[in-house]
Amino acid sequence: MADAAASADKSIQVKLVLLGEAAVGKSSVVLRFVSNEFQANKEPTIGAAFLTQKCRLEDRVLRYEIWDTAGQERFHSLAPMYYRNAQAAVVVYDVTKAASLDKAKSWVKELQRQANPHIVIALAGNKVDLVNNAAASSSSTTEETSEDEPDDATATPAELAQAASGDGLRAVARDEAQAYATEAGLLFFETSAKTGEGIVELFTEIAKKIPIEHILASTRGGGANRPGGAASGSNAQGNVNLDANNQTPKNACNC
Amino acid sequence: MTAKLGPAELDIGVDGGIQHSLDPGKLVAMRRWILCIAIVNFDIDTGPIVDQMYPSASLDAGLKENIAFSSFPDASSAESRTEIHSFRVRHAAGGALETTTVQDGFMYGFAYFLQRRDQALKRGFLQRSVVILTHLPYPSLFTVVISKLAPLYFEHGTAMLETACHNIANWSAPHPGSTVEVGFLGGVYAVAIPQGPDDPQFIETSSFGVQFDAHQHILASIPPLTTLPSSLQSPGSPTFTMAASQTPSILSLCRSFLPSLWSIWECLILCEPILVFAPSPSLSSVLIWWFRDFIRPLPLAFDFRPYFTIHDHDFPDFVPRAKMKGVATSKSAAYASPPKSGVVIGVTNPFFESACSHWPHVISLSAEVAAPNAITKAQTMSRSTSHKGRERGSVRSMLAPTDGPSKSRSMFDFSLSSLSHARTPPTSVQSQQTHVGPAPGWYTKTHARYISKDRAFIAQLEAAVAKGGIAEVEGSWAIRQHFSNRTTAMLAPLNRYLTSLIPPAGKGARLRPFNDADFFTSLETHGSALTFRSSAKRRAFYERWMRTLAFGAWLAQAEERIVGSGVLRQ
């Protein structure tokens, strides 16, 4: 614990919030980043879950304090509580559901209107494994669409069946999302929490874009501005891998 | 300014879909910290009732009733207001609470009470408390938790309770001596857990050290801090921020009896019963938590109630039957007895003044401190119109002028004046002194002080009171340090003598018996760091202390520590 406390002191705290429609895989993206794991049939998030993960960037260590918000509509009004004071946001959509991009766009609008003006926003088109599989193999293997949260209203059995069938999977063209992201000034990645594709890159690029000097300056300014505060203490999450560099090379977050 | 939702929306959450249970794994994880979050409403027929518990918990009716009454202020004001206070109610180990670790036979409640006008309700007011129920006596932590949660609950409804419980379920276990990082409703805090319930926590010796930042670091077991982080305050809701920042400092609370603190400390050490009158549950509970903290590291050997109501099931233990004559009670289980030793209770109902006139030590707080809206303009509204058999003079005595000096304002006078100044802005009445019970101060019938006061320190404190602001906060910490040091100094001669009772290596597995005469010889020889008014007083003080429950508790704990440390086996 002493080690954890000591290294926490040196790292730069970055509050990051995940937003997006229900069942697009927000919690799975976080779980992949934090624990390098993937869980099929993850239960829906209630309110928001809190996790931490470190990310090395050149000679600096960023410590992400991640608020993984619930996608269910009934929790929508709680979102400001989580994106307030956040330095970064990941807005997630599902590449196989066109409507989820619309929802992502509305989150981006809300963030740009109401969040910290320096917030770094990344758009992530998740579940790209479903699309890749369809392209790579024409066989209709019963691919588990396990990122879908079972209780979600948006993931109808019909959609799941369609996804599993490998037909017409991609509902959002990469170019279309990329064009939108560029126009709106967002980072953009297609990701797969299931295979890990794009996940580390996503968080690494965010780390690069975070105005670290700005955070450090505001921290020195006093404790009222929480970002970057030298929180000590052990990790709240037992399964958090404190050192991303100890993971497989593919997942190393050392840019 | 105030909450957006009406009571109906609050009850069903933002758009329904609330599940009243957690999955078993999460429930177990959450219950390491809290039992549940209760919502207490005012029922026009029965008074306060526990309306909802998230997650659901099976508590027996008596305990629920105790919780309900302890969650509401005794005396209400007509103003829209919020107030944070805490309480401690007895519950038997085991039974309905088998899923919670019962630590000391009591359950702790941390309540956030909201009242606002609502013409849609029959009573004309929405009155509701959000209450954290827990077995952990961590006032500092749970004051932060409730002041963050409750305003959001009043804004967003039941979904917040769900969210809060899921957050808490993700916290690591509160292992003794650990520092746990907790994420709660968008905030992140580092919480230092004490080694044991009787170990005092200090910033200097905590894992935070010089980096301590009150905005994000919490010493779980200390009394609530005077000021709470601005990050905890809900934006755009002045009524909510007030509650979060209203926690008074110990210095401001004790201002009217600073020179008596040394006597009060002695009474706490000697397990004397002390009755505290306060104008509000929040002031009462804060003071009682400070008192509880003063005696660390001495094992807790008295019962303390941060906020005690006449409806508490232990009421008959504290108020003998003779004192309840003439008060309508249908099922009084009271028996005549002097107050128990080792009971420190905080009350806000003036009924206790006559009912507890036989108590030897009384403290009365003034409401001028902190001056939140919550404690000004106290207009008594009857708690209930039909409390069959539970009246005990509650409403009546609250409305009756008190017997105090004419200078004091009774609740009744006050209610009249607030009615006649209904349009006066709150600031104009904040300087008015209001109190319950006798005039502010310390009253003792029996206690003659043993130790010396520190006059230079009193002067410093008085200067700090005059200065106010940060000086007052620093003065409060100084008081805590001062009396904690005294408790340690008081124990030093005992610990010194105790080490002489360790048998030579291999000559026994227990300490030799504590011999009073030998101890006093040791005390005469080595003296004490604590300055007594005379050596006779010093001896008298220890003689008296050795007859209290505290002595037995200390000896048992000390012996256990020595035996457990393995010195006896070497």
**Partner-chain contact A223 B214, CB within 8 Å:** yes
Please tell me which of the candidates A50, A74, A234 has its beta carbon nearest to residue B170.
A50
Residue B15 has pLDDT above 60, yes or no: no
d(CA A151, CA B439) in angstroms, rounded, equals 61
Residue B7 has pLDDT above 70, yes or no: no
**Partner-chain contact A226 B187, CB within 8 Å:** yes
**Chain A CB within 8 Å of residue B207 CB:** yes
> Residue B57 maps to which CATH number?
3.30.450.200
pLDDT grade for B502, boundaries at 50, 70 and 90 = confident
Please tell me which of the candidates A9, A47, A231 has its beta carbon nearest to residue B163.
A47
B185 neighbourhood in chain A, CB within 8 Å: 47, 81
Residue B464 has pLDDT above 50, yes or no: yes
A28-32, B44-48, B135-139, B177-181 — which is least confidently predicted? B44-48
Residues B298 and B362 in one domain: yes
Note the pLDDT of residue B102. 56
Mean pLDDT, residues B246-268: 87
Which of B160, B149, B1 minimizes the C-alpha distance to B80?
Answer: B1
Q: Which alpha helices (H) appear in B92-158, and where do they start and end?
A: 139-156
Query: B461 near B472, Cβ under 8 Å?
Result: no
Note the pLDDT of residue B243. 36
Which of B555, B490, B561 minimizes the C-alpha distance to B516?
Answer: B555
Note the pLDDT of residue B129. 96
Residues B415 and B495 in one domain: no
**How far is the CA of B477 from the CAs of A224, A229, B203, B218, B246, in angstroms?**
21, 24, 10, 15, 17
Model pLDDT for residues B374-417, shown as the tens digit of each residue: 333 333 333 333 333 333 333 323 323 333 333 333 322 222 22
**Partner-chain contact B163 A234, CB within 8 Å:** no
d(CA A184, CA B330) in angstroms, rounded, equals 72
Instruction: Return the number of other C-beta atoms located less than 10 Å from residue B89's C-beta.
Output: 23
d(CA B260, CA A103) in angstroms, rounded, equals 64
Residue B190 falls inside a structural domain: no
Domain count, chain A: 1
Note the pLDDT of residue A34. 96
Please tell me which of the candidates B180, B186, B217 has its beta carbon nearest to residue A84.
B186
Residues B391 and B538 in one domain: no
d(CA B546, CA B555) in angstroms, rounded, equals 10
Note the pLDDT of residue B437. 82
> In this structure, what are the phi and psi dihedrals at residue A16, rounded to the nearest 5 degrees?
-125, 135
Higher pLDDT, B266 or B118: B266
B186 neighbourhood in chain A, CB within 8 Å: 48, 67, 81-82, 84
Probe site for chain B from A42, A77, A116 (most B CB atoms < 10 A) = A77
Mean pLDDT, residues B518-526: 95
- Half-sphere exposure (Cβ direction) of B66: Cα atoms closer than 13 Å: 23
Q: B47 pairs with which residues across the strands?
A: B43
**What DSSP assignment string belongs to B284-334?**
HHHHHHHHHHHTTTSPP-SEEESS--TTSTTHHHHS-GGGGTTS--SS---
Most confident of A50-59, A194-203, B418-427: A194-203
Higher pLDDT, B4 or B217: B217
A105-109, B208-212, B353-357 — which is least confidently predicted? B208-212
Residue B214 falls inside a structural domain: no
pLDDT grade for B470, boundaries at 50, 70 and 90 = confident
Which of A137, A154, A173 minimizes the C-alpha distance to A99?
Answer: A154
Q: What is the 3-state secondary structure (H, E, C) of A61-95?
A: EEEEEEEEECCCHHHHHHHHHHHCCCCEEEEEEEC
Note the pLDDT of residue B447. 93
Note the pLDDT of residue B14. 36
Note the pLDDT of residue A4. 42
- Residue B193's closest chain A neighbor by CA? A233
B144-153, B210-219, B361-370 — which is least confidently predicted? B361-370
Residues B498 and B558 in one domain: yes
B163 neighbourhood in chain A, CB within 8 Å: 46-48, 70, 75, 78
- Residue B152's closest chain A neighbor by CA? A78
Q: A interface toward B at CB cutoff 8 Å? A: 1, 5, 9, 15, 43, 45-52, 65, 67, 70, 72-78, 81-82, 84-85, 223-224, 226, 229-238
d(CA A143, CA B373) in angstroms, rounded, equals 62
Residue A251 has pLDDT above 70, yes or no: no
d(CA B231, nearest CA chain A) in Å: 7
A84 neighbourhood in chain B, CB within 8 Å: 186
Q: Where is the domain boundary, B137, B171, B205?
A: B171
pTM summary value:
0.79
**Chain A CB within 8 Å of residue B186 CB:** yes
d(CA A217, CA B281) in angstroms, rounded, equals 42
Residue A105 structure tokens = 């766009």
d(CA A235, nearest CA chain B) in Å: 6
Note the pLDDT of residue B295. 93
Note the pLDDT of residue A216. 74
Residues B457 and B370 in one domain: yes
E-strand stretches of B33-155 = 36-43, 47-54, 81-90, 106-117, 125-134
Q: Where is the domain boundary, B486, B508, B532?
A: B486
Note the pLDDT of residue A218. 67
pLDDT grade for B568, boundaries at 50, 70 and 90 = low
Which of B229, B208, B200 minimizes the C-alpha distance to B137?
Answer: B200
**Partner-chain contact B211 A74, CB within 8 Å:** no
B191 neighbourhood in chain A, CB within 8 Å: 233
A183-197, A211-225, B488-502 — which is least confidently predicted? A211-225
E-strand stretches of B410-567 = 441-444
pLDDT grade for B514, boundaries at 50, 70 and 90 = very high
Please tell me which of the candidates A65, A73, A75 has its beta carbon nearest to residue B188.
A65
d(CA B372, CA B243) in angstroms, rounded, equals 8
Residue A88 falls inside a structural domain: yes
Residue A40 falls inside a structural domain: yes
Residue B227 has pLDDT above 50, yes or no: no
Residues 6+ apart with CB under 8 A from B468: none
Residues B59 and B136 in one domain: yes
| Residue whose tokens read 């509902």 | A171
Residues B274 and B151 in one domain: no
d(CA B39, CA B68) in angstroms, rounded, equals 9
Q: Cis peptide before B440, with omega less than 30 degrees from 0?
A: no
Burial B355-364 (b: 16+ CB within 10 A, else e): bbeebbbbbb
Residue B462 structure tokens = 């008085």
With H, G, I as helix, E, B as strand and everything else as coil, classify residue B124. Answer: coil
Note the pLDDT of residue A123. 98
Q: Where is the domain boundary, B421, B451, B486?
A: B486
Note the pLDDT of residue B94. 54
Residue B234 falls inside a structural domain: no
Burial B543-556 (b: 16+ CB within 10 A, else e): ebbbebebbebbbe
Query: B286 near B247, Cβ under 8 Å?
Result: yes
Query: A20 near A102, Cβ under 8 Å?
Result: no
d(CA A171, nearest CA chain B) in Å: 29
Higher pLDDT, B225 or B16: B225
Residues B151 and B263 in one domain: no
pLDDT grade for B534, boundaries at 50, 70 and 90 = very high
**Partner-chain contact A74 B166, CB within 8 Å:** no
d(CA B538, nearest CA chain A) in Å: 43
Residues B361 and B328 in one domain: yes
Residues B286 and B426 in one domain: yes
Most confident of A65-74, B54-63, B364-373: A65-74
Quote the domain boundaries for residue A155: 2-224
Residue B379 structure tokens = 């207009």
Mean pLDDT, residues B80-102: 72
| Residue whose tokens read 């440390």 | B565
| Beta-sheet pairing, B187-192 with B217-219 | parallel
Quote the domain boundaries for residue B371: 250-486
Residues B333 and B284 in one domain: yes
Residue B547 structure tokens = 């007859």
d(CA A199, CA A18) in angstroms, rounded, equals 13
Query: B302 near B343, Cβ under 8 Å?
Result: yes
d(CA B166, nearest CA chain A) in Å: 7
Note the pLDDT of residue A167. 43
d(CA B391, CA A251) in angstroms, rounded, equals 68
Which of B272, B276, B263, B295 minimizes the C-alpha distance to B448?
Answer: B263
Residue B236 falls inside a structural domain: no
Note the pLDDT of residue B510. 81
**Partner-chain contact A234 B185, CB within 8 Å:** no
**Partner-chain contact A236 B180, CB within 8 Å:** yes
Residue A247 falls inside a structural domain: no
Mean pLDDT, residues B474-479: 88
pLDDT grade for B19, boundaries at 50, 70 and 90 = low
Which of A109, A22, A8 minimizes the C-alpha distance to A65?
Answer: A8
Residue A213 class from Cβ within 10 Å (0-12 exposed, 13-18 middle, 19+ buried)? exposed
pLDDT grade for A234, boundaries at 50, 70 and 90 = very low
A49-63, A211-225, B112-126 — which is least confidently predicted? A211-225
d(CA A80, CA A74) in angstroms, rounded, equals 14
**Chain A CB within 8 Å of residue B144 CB:** no
Please tell me which of the candidates A9, A81, A236 has its beta carbon nearest to residue B185.
A81
Mean pLDDT, residues A60-65: 92
Mean pLDDT, residues B167-182: 95
Residue A252 falls inside a structural domain: no
Ordered strands of the B303-305 beta sheet: B303-305, B343-347, B274-277, B361-364, B441-444
**Partner-chain contact A46 B15, CB within 8 Å:** no
Domain count, chain B: 3
Query: A139 near A65, Cβ under 8 Å?
Result: no
Mean pLDDT, residues A84-101: 96
Probe site for chain B from A81, A152, A225, A242 (most B CB atoms < 10 A) = A81
**Chain A CB within 8 Å of residue B204 CB:** no
Residue A164 falls inside a structural domain: yes
**Partner-chain contact B172 A223, CB within 8 Å:** no
B187 neighbourhood in chain A, CB within 8 Å: 226
Residue A241 falls inside a structural domain: no
**Partner-chain contact B172 A224, CB within 8 Å:** no
Query: What's the mean per-residue pLDDT of chain A?
Result: 77
Residue B360 structure tokens = 């030897």
Residue A36 has pLDDT above 50, yes or no: yes
Residues 6+ apart with CB under 8 A from B141: B191, B218, B220
d(CA B53, CA B535) in angstroms, rounded, equals 56
A81-90, A228-237, B143-152, B168-177 — which is least confidently predicted? A228-237
Residue B203 has pLDDT above 60, yes or no: yes
Query: B148 near B232, Cβ under 8 Å?
Result: yes
Q: How far does CA A122 lie from the centroid of its chain?
A: 8
B179 neighbourhood in chain A, CB within 8 Å: 1, 5, 232-234
Residue A97 falls inside a structural domain: yes
**Partner-chain contact A52 B181, CB within 8 Å:** yes
Model pLDDT for residues B100-137, shown as the tens digit of each residue: 455 678 999 999 999 988 888 877 888 999 999 999 99
A198-202, A228-232, B81-85 — which is least confidently predicted? A228-232
Most confident of A193-202, B109-118, B347-356: A193-202
Mean pLDDT, residues B239-252: 55
Residue B526 has pLDDT above 80, yes or no: yes
Residue B318 structure tokens = 């504290």
**Chain A CB within 8 Å of residue B215 CB:** yes
Q: What do you get for the CA distance between the two ends of chain A, in Å?
A: 27
**Chain A CB within 8 Å of residue B214 CB:** yes
d(CA A16, nearest CA chain B) in Å: 10
Query: What's the mean per-residue pLDDT of chain B?
Result: 78
> Residue A220 maps to which CATH number?
3.40.50.300
**Chain A CB within 8 Å of residue B245 CB:** no
**Partner-chain contact A226 B216, CB within 8 Å:** yes
d(CA B456, CA A10) in angstroms, rounded, equals 42
Residue B237 falls inside a structural domain: no
- Residue B13's closest chain A neighbor by CA? A74
- Residue B174's closest chain A neighbor by CA? A236
B166 neighbourhood in chain A, CB within 8 Å: 45-47, 49
Note the pLDDT of residue A115. 94
CB pairs under 8 A between A and B: 117
Q: What do you get for the CA distance between the two ends of chain B, in Å?
A: 67
**How far is the CA of B252 from the CAs of A86, A113, B258, B465, in angstroms?**
37, 43, 10, 7
Note the pLDDT of residue B569. 61
| Residue whose tokens read 């959609």 | A159
pLDDT grade for B226, boundaries at 50, 70 and 90 = low
Residue A194 has pLDDT above 90, yes or no: yes
Residues B419 and B310 in one domain: yes
Ordered strands of the B81-90 beta sheet: B47-54, B36-43, B125-134, B106-117, B81-90
A78 neighbourhood in chain B, CB within 8 Å: 152, 156, 159-160, 163
Residue B206 has pLDDT above 80, yes or no: yes
Please tell me which of the candidates A1, A46, A236 has its beta carbon nearest to residue B163.
A46
> In this structure, what are the phi and psi dihedrals at residue B266, rounded to the nearest 5 degrees?
-60, -45
**What DSSP assignment string belongs to B161-223?**
HHHHHHHHHTSPP--TT-EEEEEETTEEEEEEPPSSTTS---TTTSSSGGG--TTTEEETTSP
Mean pLDDT, residues B418-427: 30
Surface of B (158-177) touching A: CB under 8 A: 159-160, 162-164, 166-167, 170-172
**Partner-chain contact B163 A67, CB within 8 Å:** no
Residue B345 has pLDDT above 60, yes or no: yes
The proportion of chain B whose per-residue pLDDT surpasses 70, expressed as a percent, equals 74
